[in-house]
Structure 1
Amino acid sequence: MKKTEAQSIGEIIHEVFRRAGMETNEAEHRALYLWGEIVGAGVNRLTTQRYVADGGVMHVYIASGPLKNDLRFMRSSLISQLNAAVGTNAIKDLIIH
């Protein structure tokens, strides 16, 4: 029996996605998950829905008009932070609804 090194569940999942050619999907899902950490608890509470469409376009629905406006001004910074957090350029655009 061949011994192998122990791997974390995250490493195993990453490898499964990579072998299936779905590495970008994994990064997009991680970006969705990390949204709350990046924007903070207050903004996350007002986030009603989020998803990533084809081409890496992340759509985020916010329940506060003034906050939507503020986030639109921070759009490029948020994209950079999300991509840095996932380690790839998975998020190409961010649309605030």
Structure 2
Amino acid sequence: MKRNDAEQIGLLIRQFMRREGLESPLNEYRLIQAWKEVLGPGISSYTDGLHIKNQTLYVHITSPVLRQELSMGRDRIVKNLNHHVGAQVITNIVIY
């Protein structure tokens, strides 16, 4: 028996997550997990901590030289991380 009012399961899951307030925390988690994939294992090995607060990603980098280098490319990093997740999760990065 075929139903005419069937909806795609992916759409239903996204609607449920949005309604229950779970979409934003999930996207934040996915963005933090994407840090190693987007920036690579070399930079990731100097990363000591990541967290998101008010659409700002806070990153602790242990190398002063790398910290300076990443600070100059913050806009590109924001764009690449958001693109990888597929949503506008962060608007800024603070590298300390």
TM-score range, shorter chain: 0.7 to 0.9
1:74 corresponds in structure 2 to 73
Between structure 1 and structure 2, the one with the greater Rg is 2
Report how far residue 18 of structure 1 moved.
Answer: 2.6
1:32 corresponds in structure 2 to 32
TM-score by length of 1: 0.80
- Structure 2: runs of 5+ lacking an equivalent: 1-8
What's the RMSD between the two structures over aligned residues?
Answer: 2.3
Report how far residue 47 of structure 1 moved.
Answer: 0.2
- The letter of the residue matching 2:40 is G
- The letter of the residue matching 2:27 is A
Distance 2:30 2:15 in 1: 15
User: Contact 1:52/1:59 (CA < 8 Å) preserved in 2?
Assistant: yes
- Structure 1: runs of 5+ lacking an equivalent: 1-6
User: Contact 1:48/1:63 (CA < 8 Å) preserved in 2?
Assistant: yes
Number of matched pairs = 91
User: Contact 1:57/1:95 (CA < 8 Å) preserved in 2?
Assistant: yes
Report how far residue 20 of structure 1 moved.
Answer: 1.3
User: Contact 1:17/1:26 (CA < 8 Å) preserved in 2?
Assistant: no
Q: Percent identity?
A: 28
Distance 1:91 1:69 in 2: 20
Report how far residue 57 of structure 1 moved.
Answer: 0.6
